[in-house]
Homo-oligomer: A and B are copies of this chain.
């Protein structure tokens, strides 16, 4: 089959969660985000050009036909506008059920970042990276 160029698009990131209320405390209370939809098994957040879903992990496992297991192998990032917002955001997320993985410091490529795990162990890097422009709508462009 010939390779075609397909839209460089990801529609949804779905994170498996054990307890929706505990997860919401982190995303709604910590990040201050508002759900676009929620019911007793899933919460969706409208993000910058895609959708974040937090879904009961047994249901995600059944849907994807892979056993539920602790989160591993990847990391998500949220960029903030100032250096000091990195530490403030990490603190706020830790106060809302997050677990600090790495306190903020300066990475080799510049800026400032730390890592926090959400209550289900999903890793979030909180970063200030002036090389990545962010539009008012939140669209992020790769930069060096």
Contact = CB atoms under 8 A, between A and B. Distances in A.
Q: How many of chain A's residues touch chain B, expressed as a range?
A: 35 or more
A95 B3 CA distance: 10
Given A50-B50, A102-B64, A125-B12, A138 B7 contact: yes
Interface string A38-51: 00000011111111
Interface in A1-50: 1, 3-16, 29-34, 36-37, 44-50
Contact of A3 (B7, B12, B29): B29
A38 to B, nearest CB: 11
A8 B138 contact: yes
A13 B76 contact: yes
B8 A140 contact: no
15 contacts: A1-B91, A5-B32, A6-B31, A6-B78, A8-B34, A9-B48, A9-B78, A9-B140, A13-B76, A16-B74, A51-B140, A51-B141, A63-B107, A64-B123, A73-B122
Contacts of A1: 88, 91-92, 95
Contact of A36 (B4, B31, B139, B142): B142
